[in-house]
Amino acid sequence: MIIGVPKEIKVHEYRVGMVPASVSEAVAHGHTVYVETLAGTGIGFSDQDFIDAGAQILPTAEAVFAESEMIVKVKEPQAVERAMLREGQILFTYLHLAPDPEQTIDLVNSKAVCIAYETVTDDKGRLPLLAPMSEVAGRMSIQAGAFALEKSKGGRGMLLAGVPGVEPAKVVIIGGGVVGANAAQMAVGYVQTLLYLTVTSTYYVTWMRSLAVLFSVYTQLKMLSKNTYLKLTLLLVVYWLLVLLHRNWLLLK
């Protein structure tokens, strides 16, 4: 198969659909890989790195789309990219179609075979391509929260880990899935108390036992009913909407 890897063009997207190691693996299995020039510079890979792995470098995204049977990306194709898809061509990337009807219509009209990473399941019903993104989201949530707590960023001026004589913060994590577990893994590194909230079910009881073993020194685990969980989630959404509206109002004054 001829695989094409264009440079990502979505704002603030620096990743690339295939790194040199994955290119090398594909080439070893008899596939041809075309990579758009400078596609990997955002994460530290040069064109020469891809060439050394067995890829061929093409000068433009148009050339990559035209020559390839399958396009491998990271983020959903932008309008200019969707216009380059053709009937029968395979698109393999994150799509997130639910909030994007325009993209959905364009992909249907292209008659390409579009496979979303976030819908690929394994033989146990798990989502192996979505899980890494959930891991990243969970770990970054603590980092982002610490950043937002800084006084200069509009926060309370709180240091998550505290200092001698000053208590550390308390972190509340709602949900005990991949995102929540990875958030907890990061949070315990700051040595603050965690209150872990999750939905009541047989699956979650088993999962919480695992979390208790992993985080028992630092973590309090509590169960919530589904209704309480949904109410808390809704309250958090409303709270952050009000915060955003307040900040926008201040900017307009």
Write out pLDDT tens, residues 76-100: 999 999 999 999 999 999 999 999 9
Is residue 219 in a domain? yes
Chain mean pLDDT for the chain = 86
Mean pLDDT of 56-84: 98
The confidence score (pLDDT) of residue 25 equals 96
Is the pLDDT at 217 greater than 50, yes or no?
no
- Domain residues for the domain of 195 are 131-252
3-state secondary structure (DSSP) of residue 30: coil
Instruction: Please state which of the ranges 55-59, 70-74, 106-110, 235-239 shows the lowest mean pLDDT.
Output: 235-239
- Residue where a domain terminates, one of 92, 119, 146: 119
Model confidence pTM above 0.85? no
- Does 111 share its domain with 135? no
What is the total count of domains within the chain? 2
CATH number for the domain harbouring residue 246: 3.40.50.720
d(CA 190, CA 65): 46
Mean pLDDT of 112-121: 97
- Residue where a domain terminates, one of 65, 84, 119: 119
